[in-house]
Chain A
Amino acid sequence: ETGVTQTPRHLVMGMTNKKSLKCEQHLGHNAMYWYKQSAKKPLELMFVYSLEERVENNSVPSRFSPECPNSSHLFLHLHTLQPEDSALYLCASSQDWDSYEQYFGPGTRLTVT
């Protein structure tokens, strides 16, 4: 595997479910990010991790809970989501938190029913 991978690629969940999105980067990078991409809206930064420490939480509701157990893995735990949370969730990584080039994974297409 190379680059940034995400699983699952597609996820349908009910509002009472709990699920997790997984991201893995094989680039030796030190920073990882979660973004949300909704139709007709720009990509929105959700969380930033640098060396496994969360350095930014961009006013994201608590029903989204990130976890970064090591510099290669990033999770987004989901619980009691709302239909408006349906979107493409993209993970990205960069060499360091101040690097200008970010590498994106293919995303998880989430549908909340």
Chain B
Amino acid sequence: GQSLEQPSEVTAVEGAIVQINCTYQTSGFYGLSWYQQHDGGAPTFLSYNALDGLEETGRFSSFLSRSDSYGYLLLQELQMKDSASYFCAVRDVSGGGADGLTFGKGTHLIIQP
């Protein structure tokens, strides 16, 4: 089976940098994804790491260490619109090989002015 752990809530100040951590346990690992979900909205894809290292996309970066079963999402130059829930997710490889995603419980990011 799969399980992911991430903090339930993080608070940061507008303009600052925040890091949201995710640790995982999986029977088969294909990569770590990050999704953003605003209240009342649909999850939207942010990033994906299959290999160790840092992937940068604008203000958001994502890091993976497969040996540590650990990753993080880094948000820079925080804006009020970044207030949302952030989910890490791994592909859930069933015996049949078909994949959905297994999600963490999500981190609620609160941005203060």
**A contacts, CB < 8 Å to B:** 4, 33, 35, 40-43, 45, 48, 50, 55-56, 58, 90, 97-98, 100-107
Q: Once bound together, how far apart are the Cα atoms of A105 and B42, in whole Å?
A: 6
Give the contact-size bracket for chain B.
20 to 34
Contacts A43-B103, A55-B96 hold; do A104 and B44 have CB atoms under 8 A apart? yes
**B contacts, CB < 8 Å to A:** 4, 30-31, 33, 41-45, 48, 50, 87, 89, 91-92, 94, 96-106
Find the B residue at minimum CB distance from A109: B40
Q: How many A-B residue pairs have CB under 8 A?
A: 61
CB-CB under 8 A from A55, the residues of chain B are 96-98
CB-CB under 8 A from B45, the residues of chain A are 101-103
| Contact of B98 (CB < 8 Å), options: A42, A97, A100 | A97
Q: Is the CB–CB distance between B105 and A90 below 8 Å?
A: no
